[in-house]
Amino acid sequence: MERRSLLKNIGLIAGSLSLPTWSVANNKIENPKRVMRIAHLTDIHIQPNLIAAHGFKKCLHHLQNLDVKPDFILNGGDVVMGSKNATFEKSEKEWDMYQKVLQRENSLRVFTCVGNHDILLKKDQATGFQDGKKRAVDKLELAEAYYSFDQNGWHFIVLDSVHEKFDGHGYTAKLGEAQMDWLEKDLEKTSDKTPVMVISHIPILSACVFLDGQNVKKDDWHVPGGWMHTDCAELVALFHKHKNVKLAVSGHIHLHDQVVYNGVTYCCNGAVCGDYWFGKTQETKAGYAIIDLFSDGSFNNNYISYRS
């Protein structure tokens, strides 16, 4: 799942590095200019203890001390441990700790999407899911749970992956009708010469969802709808229609993988918390991704472990 090497030629300081994901644009420009460097942090899972706060601080210091400092941070969601039936008091402590560490230890602009753990849900409230999501959006200081923006010749689309199941029990990964319609319109109005990067909390398309535990049951694969987008086929078809969609990044699974399909690269970029700060060491170490974007629509996605 993770191969590591020291890649001094792309300006990364010494550390535990994985072999980067490279892409080639359709019309390759010789020696294309790097127009941006982004730090993709996901699944921080702040808990009200000093171990999590210190780990998050160390991660922020690591990425800001790279030889080439990132232009901004993409936060992939699950910033707090929170989630279903956590007490309000515990949730408030987690959000307070996350915000304090971010304010004190980070100098970069942050763009964030909502993760399932960010949604405080009380099962005895009929409107609990939507109320919990609205609270997460407010805590993250977002206008909406999904949005897009332009930066240095690239177009970025931040999606809302987490939706309540029809039966009201738990969540599933999808966009829903309104968001899908918005996405189609957003891609239509974006020039086909502008490369597009998509960010979601839950993977749109992933290989590691098949390897996160024993997922073969009665001779069939069993991948829950909360692990990978259930509207994957629809999204893949939409991206295939828009050839300028180059890269889609996610988190949620806490593992690092790369899937290339129909010309789009899908990267699941591990977790800042590793295995929730405690417990066993899993295949992908606690880390984050450095993503370099180039003027010709090419990129590389390099996963780094910030722990020595």
Q: What is the pLDDT of residue 92?
A: 94
Which mean pLDDT values do the consecutive 10-residue runs of the chain (308 residues) have?
33 41 59 94 93 95 97 97 83 95 97 95 70 94 97 98 85 96 98 98 95 82 91 98 98 95 97 85 89 97 90
Q: What is the pLDDT of residue 3?
A: 32
Q: What is the pLDDT of residue 48?
A: 84
Side-chain half-sphere exposure of 178, counting CA atoms within 13 A: 6
Q: What is the pLDDT of residue 1?
A: 39
Q: What is the pLDDT of residue 13?
A: 35
Q: What is the pLDDT of residue 28?
A: 58
d(CA 72, CA 152): 12
d(CA 116, CA 114): 7
d(CA 16, CA 265): 23
Cβ density class 39-65: b for 16+ within 10 Å, e for less: bbbbbbbbbbeeebbebbbbbbebbee
Residue 196 and residue 238 in contact, taking contact as beta carbons nearer than 8 Å: no
Q: Could you tell me how many residues make up the chain?
A: 308
pTM of the model: 0.88
d(CA 270, CA 16): 14
Q: What is the pLDDT of residue 170?
A: 83
Q: What is the pLDDT of residue 219?
A: 86
- For tokens 């609270």, the residue is 135
d(CA 305, CA 281): 13
Residue 303 and residue 289 in contact, taking contact as beta carbons nearer than 8 Å: yes
Q: What is the pLDDT of residue 27?
A: 56
Q: What is the pLDDT of residue 123?
A: 61
d(CA 154, CA 35): 9
Q: Superfamily for 33-305?
A: Metallo-dependent phosphatases (3.60.21.10)
